[in-house]
Structure 1
Amino acid sequence: MVSLRCAVGLCSSAQIGKRGIHGDSQAHAEGAGHDQDMSGVEVLAAIPCSFATELLEIRSKEPSLHVLLIAGNPGIAAFYKDCVEALYENLGGQASITAIGHISHSQKDCEHGRLFSLYEQIDHKVDFIEQELQHSEQPIVLVGHSIGAYIGLEVFKRLQNKIKFIVGLYPFLKMNKSSVTQSAIGYIARSSLLSKWASLFASFIGSLRPSITRGIVRRFLGPSWSVTAVDAACSHLLRYNTMRNVLFMAMTEFQKLTEEPDWTFIRAQEDKMAFLFGVDDHWGPLSHLEEISKHAPRVTLSVETEGHTHGYCCTEAGSVWVADYIANLIKNQMLLWNN
């Protein structure tokens, strides 16, 4: 039977026998023990450690590889539950799948109000791989969604001897100056006052009766969203600490992504990369696909034309389609590796 769990507050075996991610923060997670949050997902409540880390995992008994899915922003692993399950099934149960969220994009404010930048989130993913997968004998495939694709590239750059392949889904690799949405988010994110007010409003919606909160989410955020996505929004996104970190991370993203991607690195590793773009996606417009093709022509590039959106993980159909795309890529790569 497939076991899908969300582990929070991981700590090193040297501390209490559970896995953990360490950093220079003095913040500690709260509580200990078990709780039940999302349907079908076991939640291990936070245990004292450096950084609480939310994961969705399906462990294969005899894995031939390990897929690490890096969330976009908001960095909530729970949004990827349907995709993780579908990917595991599409790979025939022969791969362990882990979806990793971002620090403090979580149900509980385990870091006591601390805000984390894009590069701190990158460091967090590097630490996770070095601590949790350092003894893994299986190839590691990175899958990054949106800004997670940029994070994945930076992780790959630092851990080239550990990463076998990287897939960017609807990648956000540089700013789109013509995007009104990006301009609006950037305006709010740059203002501490506006960010606080937006986060307070989100937390107010999240504090209402569950039926009212779910109704608001369905009406205004995602009338076509899956049950999984609505649950994740209600339990994680509509929290003050999450929204503050979403906006702070966005501010640091927008500052960094005014720069061009590292074309030298992408060209050097082009045989180990694939990107999936959407037809009408302001985060990753087709003009960016054309730039990649120009600078690194051997990168595997695809365009999704099935009508899914940048937030593919918020619908069951999008999650299943993308999982099938990833699985086919991995299967083709495994044939090359074996030859």
Structure 2
Amino acid sequence: MALSNEIFHTFIEPGPDGKPLPNSKPLLVYFITGNPGLIDYYEITLKRLFDTLRAKHGDSDLYVYGSSLPGFMIDQLMSSPPPYDLAQQIEHHTSQLLMMASKLSQERNGASVPIVLVGHSIGAYMCLEIISRWQAKAAESRAPMEIVGGICLFPTVVDIAKSPTGRTVAPFLALPGSTIVAHYLVKMIFILVPAFILSLLVRLVTGMEPPAAKTTARFLKSKHGVRQALYLAKHEMTTVAADKWTDSLWGKPPSFSPSTISSDVTNSTFNARRDSPFRKRSSASTTPKPAQTPSAETKLFFYWARSDHWVANDTRDELISTRGRLSTLISGGRRVSATTELYRPVMEIDDHGIPHGFPLKEAHSMLIGDKLAEYIDEISVPLRARNVMEG
């Protein structure tokens, strides 16, 4: 069985002509893998997420999409041959996201499409970079989409070279020609080993479950996979350093017009956490429209491992303390308003023993699928606030 280029789960409530209803409000969940960037590793997680969201929000259009990173795909989509660096990976996903959003928008009379980006490991870095670039654009020049949420799983977003594994591999990756030598060495070792035998060997040596072992075996025998993984890792070591993003990425409250929005309406919308983030806009609201609609902000969620060989504990703890939502209203000796805190990232440390490589075990993949669905329900808060005020 060959490697997959993409996984795409969809549910559309069709109109009389079989096409999406023009006024329907879809949600696109766009997933970016870690390294090695094979989407097959995440099949269980994405299917679990899709099924959970469908069960909760069966009357809404839903798209859950993920693809392998360029360099790991069966059919390469880039104009130049692999390997590809981190910047090229980000450009690829940005272009692909814009293309999908434009298509969904056209099917719905040009309406803006809500999008939740999800990234694992270095995929989380790519998500933050895409969100940052999108936020930097003037509203009138943005594509017909709103990135309403970003979910970072076991994120390697700052100082990856300071992690336990980073400290080990960085010196090797810095050697001239190291990625090419390792690539050909792996090919020489496994070139004559059939994929099913290699899969059994991977299971025996690593303890991986059969689906992950099969994917790993196909990765090891792929044309460019090993070199692409090492080449990308080399760029990660030098690119993913100090926190480079502006405060706007890390959360700031939207601009409300206090003279036209009552505190009762605002508070009630923040508490309505069970409303679907992609439910069709209700016409029954009697709330008057404000003079100024609040600007949409991207809600961020970070899910960290208790101990992660790709993320130093000090790095994780510092980012939580400086960028995460506070558990109290006191910060640096000053009072912080609850409204401000609502827009800071939620940062959670795992208490289920799930490791960085969660896709390698079915039980962990299922738990992460459930966690993603939980976070997407949380993202419904700012969407509902906006919908109520727009009436």
TM range (shorter): 0.7 to 0.9
Flag the structure with larger Rg.
Answer: 2
Q: Deviations over 1:58-84 (max 9, x none)?
A: 111237411011001111111110111
In the superposition, relative to structure 1, how do residues 118 and 176 fare at CA in structure 2: closer, same or farther (>3 Å)?
Answer: closer
Worse overlay, 249-258 or 131-140: 131-140
2:161–2:237 contact (8 Å) kept in structure 1 = no
- Name 2:301's counterpart in structure 1: 274
Contact 2:121/2:152 (<8 A) preserved: yes
Tell me the alpha carbon deviations over residues 120-147 of structure 1, each in whole angstroms, 9 at most, x when there is no partner.
1000010001112224344110000001
- For the residues of structure 1 that align with 2:71 and 2:300, how far apart are their CA atoms? 29
Q: CA deviation at 1:293?
A: 3.1
Q: TM-score, normalised by structure 1?
A: 0.77
Judge which range, 116-125 or 249-258, deviates more.
249-258
- For 1:12, the equivalent position in structure 2 comes to none
Aligned to 1:331: 377
Structure 2 unmatched runs, 5+: 14-24, 106-112, 136-141, 253-296, 326-343, 386-391
**Mapped contact 1:277–1:285 kept (Cα < 8 A):** no
Instruction: Rate the CA distance shift 1:333–1:190 in 2: closer, same or farther, 3 A.
Output: same
CA contact (8 A) 2:164 2:310 kept: no
Match of 2:354 among 308, 314, 320: 308
Q: Deviations over 1:282-310 (max 9, x none)?
A: 32344334323333332101111111110
Could you say what secondary structure the match of 1:140 adopts? strand
Partner of 2:2: 37
Alpha-carbon offset, residue 198 of structure 1: 1.8
> Amino acid of the residue matched to residue 217 of structure 1?
V
Distance 2:88 2:76 in 1: 17
Matched, 1:229 2:197: no
What is residue 127 of structure 2 aligned with on the other side? 152
**Distance verdict in 2 for CA 1:206–1:69, change over 3 Å:** farther
| Greater displacement, 130-139 / 159-168 | 130-139
| Matches for 1:1-339 after TM superposition, within 5 Å | 37=2, 54-62=5-13, 64-92=26-54, 94=60, 95-107=62-74, 113-137=81-105, 138-160=113-135, 162-176=146-160, 178-203=162-187, 204-205=189-190, 207-220=192-205, 222-223=206-207, 225-268=208-251, 272-296=299-323, 297=325, 298-339=344-385
RMSD of aligned C-alpha atoms? 2.4
SS of corresponding position for 2:132: helix
Tell me the secondary structure at the aligned position of residue 92 of structure 1.
Answer: helix
Return closer, same or farther for 1:131/1:195 CA change in 2, 3 Å cut-off.
Answer: same
Instruction: Provide, for residues 71-117 of structure 1, a one-character-per-residue CA deviation record: whole Å limited to 9, x for no partner.
Output: 01111111110111111111126521111221111346776853211
- Partner AA of 1:37 in structure 2: A
Q: CA 1:234/1:177 → structure 2, altered by over 3 Å: closer, same or farther?
A: closer
Structure 1 counterpart of 2:366, one-letter code: V
Aligned-pair identity (%): 22
Secondary structure of 1:264's match?
A: coil
Aligned CA distance change for structure 1 residues 172 and 244 (closer, same or farther; 3 Å):
same
- The worse-fitting range, judged by mean Cα deviation, of 312-321 and 95-104 is 95-104
Structure of greater relative contact order (alpha carbons < 8 Å, 6+ residues apart): 2
Shift of 1:212: 2.2
Counterpart position of 1:19: none
- After the TM superposition, which of the residue ranges 268-277 and 138-147 deviates more from structure 2? 268-277
TM-score (norm 2): 0.67
1:180/1:272 Cα in 2 relative to 1: closer, same or farther (>3 Å)? Answer: closer
User: The residue matched to 2:71 in structure 1 has which SS?
Assistant: coil
**Aligned-partner SS, 2:200:** helix
Q: Do the aligned partners of 2:132 and 2:245 also contact (CA within 8 Å) in 1?
A: no
Moved over 4 A (4+): 107-113
Instruction: For 2:130, give the aligned amino acid.
Output: V
Aligned length: 288
Would the alpha carbon gap of residues 37 and 325 (structure 1) be closer, same or farther in structure 2, given more than 3 Å must change? same
Classify the secondary structure of the residue corresponding to 1:302: strand
1:70 and 1:123 map into 2 onto residues whose CA distance is 12
User: In structure 2, how many angstroms separate the alpha carbons of the residues matched to 1:179 and 1:268?
Assistant: 26
Aligned AA for 1:172?
A: T
Within 2, Cα distance between the matches of 1:191 and 1:284?
23
State the Cα distance separating 1:335 from its structure 2 match. Answer: 4.5
